Amino acid sequence: MASNSVIHVVEDDRSMRESLVELLEDAGYAVRAYTRAEELLARDAALEPGCIVSDMRMPGMDGLTLLRRLRASGSTLPLMLITGHGDVSMAVRAMKAGAVDFLEKPFDADALLAAINEALRHRAGEMGEEDDETARQRLLKLTPREHEVFDYLVAGQSNKEIAARMGISPRTVEFHRAHIMEKTAAKGLPDLVRLSLLARPPQSAK
Amino acid sequence: MTGRVDPKLSNGAHAARERALASLDSLDDASVGLVNLPPTAIQIKSALAVGAGILMAVAVVAPFAATPLPRFAAFIPFLNATILVTDLVTAILLFAQFSISRSRGVLVLAGGYLFTALIVIPHALTFPGAFSPTGLLGAGVQTTAWLYILWHLVFPLALLTYAALEDSKFTVRGSIRSAIAYCVGITVSLALGIVWITTAGDPFLPRLFVNASELTPLGTYIPTFDLLICVIALAFLWLRRRSVLGLWLMVVACALIGELAITVVRFSLGFYVSRVLSVATSAIVLVILLSETTGLYMHLARTNQMLRRERDNKLMNIEAVVASISHEVKQPLATIVMRSSTALRFLGHAPPDLEKARSALKKIVNDGHRASQIFDNIRDLFRANDQTRVPVNVNKMILGVLDMLQGELAEHHVATRTELMPEPTLVMGHQGQLQEVLLNLIRNAIEAMDETKVDVRELRLSTASRDHDGAIISVLDTGPGIDPERLSSIFDAFVTTKPRGMGLGLAICRMIVERHGGRLVASSGDKGGALFQLVLPIAPDADEFSDRGSPAAQD
B469/B405 same-domain check: yes
- Examine residue A51 and state whether it is found in any structural domain, yes or no: yes
- The residue from A110, A128, A146 where one domain ends is A128
B188/B57 same-domain check: yes
Interface test with B, best of A17, A22, A41, A64 (most B CBs within 10 A): A22
Q: Tell whether A22 is within 8 A of chain B (Cβ).
A: yes
**What is the number of residues in chain A?**
206
Q: List the CATH number of the domain containing B424.
A: 3.30.565.10
* Burial zone of B454 (CB within 10 Å; 0-12 exposed, 13-18 middle, 19+ buried): exposed
- Examine residue B11 and state whether it is found in any structural domain, yes or no: no
Four-CA torsion B51, B52, B53, B54, nearest 10 degrees: 50
Cα distance from A158 to chain B (closest Cα, Å)? Answer: 13
A170/A183 same-domain check: yes
Four-CA torsion B284, B290, B294, B295, nearest 10 degrees: 40
Q: Tell whether A62 is within 8 A of chain B (Cβ).
A: yes
Other CB atoms within 10 Å distance of the CB of residue A98: 15
Q: Which amino acid is residue B472, in one-letter code?
A: I
Alpha-carbon separation of residue A5 from A116, A118, B196, B477, B495 (angstroms):
11, 13, 115, 42, 33
* Burial zone of B487 (CB within 10 Å; 0-12 exposed, 13-18 middle, 19+ buried): middle
With a cut of 0.90, is the ipTM above it? Answer: no
Q: Inter-chain contact A105–B330, Cβ cutoff 8 Å?
A: yes
A89/A33 same-domain check: yes
B445/B370 same-domain check: no
A123/A60 same-domain check: yes
- Examine residue A92 and state whether it is found in any structural domain, yes or no: yes
Cα distance from B469 to chain A (closest Cα, Å)? Answer: 37
Question: How far is Cα B345 from Cα B434, in angstroms, rounded to an integer?
Answer: 46
Chain B positions in Cβ-Cβ contact with residue A25 (cut-off 8 Å): none
Nearest to B421 by CA among B390, B439, B457, B397: B397
Question: How far is Cα A152 from Cα A160, in angstroms, rounded to an integer?
Answer: 11
Between β-strands B390-393 and B426-429, what pairing exists: parallel, antiparallel or unpaired? antiparallel
Question: How far is Cα B555 from Cα B548, in angstroms, rounded to an integer?
Answer: 15
B437/B344 same-domain check: no
How does pLDDT run across A100-119, given as a tens digit for each residue? 888 888 898 999 999 999 88
Chain A positions in Cβ-Cβ contact with residue B501 (cut-off 8 Å): 59
Cα distance from B350 to chain A (closest Cα, Å)? Answer: 13
Number of domains making up chain A: 2
- Examine residue A119 and state whether it is found in any structural domain, yes or no: yes
Contact (CB, 8 A) for B223 and B256: no
Interface test with B, best of A19, A35, A64, A105 (most B CBs within 10 A): A19
Contact (CB, 8 A) for B346 and B360: yes
A38/A108 same-domain check: yes
Nearest to B327 by CA among B497, B520, B523: B497
pLDDT at B167 over 90: no
Q: Domain limits at B440? A: 388-548
Residues whose CB is less than 8 angstroms from the CB of residue B15 and which lie 6 or more positions away in sequence, other chains included: B519
Residues whose CB is less than 8 angstroms from the CB of residue A79 and which lie 6 or more positions away in sequence, other chains included: A51, A52, A53, A54, A63, A66, A67, A70, A98, A99, A100
B209/B339 same-domain check: no
pLDDT for B342: 93
Q: Domain limits at A149? A: 130-204
Cα distance from A100 to chain B (closest Cα, Å)? Answer: 21
Chain B positions in Cβ-Cβ contact with residue A105 (cut-off 8 Å): 330-331, 333-334
Question: How far is Cα A17 from Cα A5, in angstroms, rounded to an integer?
Answer: 18
B207/B176 same-domain check: yes
pLDDT by residue for chain A (206 residues), tens digit each? 445 789 999 998 888 999 999 999 999 999 999 988 888 988 877 888 899 999 988 777 888 889 999 988 888 889 999 987 666 777 788 888 888 888 888 898 999 999 999 888 866 554 444 567 777 888 888 888 888 998 888 887 888 888 888 888 888 999 999 989 888 888 778 788 888 877 765 444 33
Q: List the CATH number of the domain containing A40.
A: 3.40.50.2300
- Examine residue B202 and state whether it is found in any structural domain, yes or no: yes
How does pLDDT run across B367-397, given as a tens digit for each residue? 898 888 878 777 776 665 556 678 888 888 9
pTM comes to: 0.53
Interface of B with A (CB under 8 A): 323, 326-327, 330-342, 344-346, 356, 360, 363, 366-367, 370, 447, 450-451, 493-495, 498-502
B409/B354 same-domain check: no
Number of domains making up chain B: 3
pLDDT at B518 over 90: no
Q: List the CATH number of the domain containing A143.
A: 1.10.10.10
- Examine residue A1 and state whether it is found in any structural domain, yes or no: no
Cα distance from A108 to chain B (closest Cα, Å)? Answer: 5
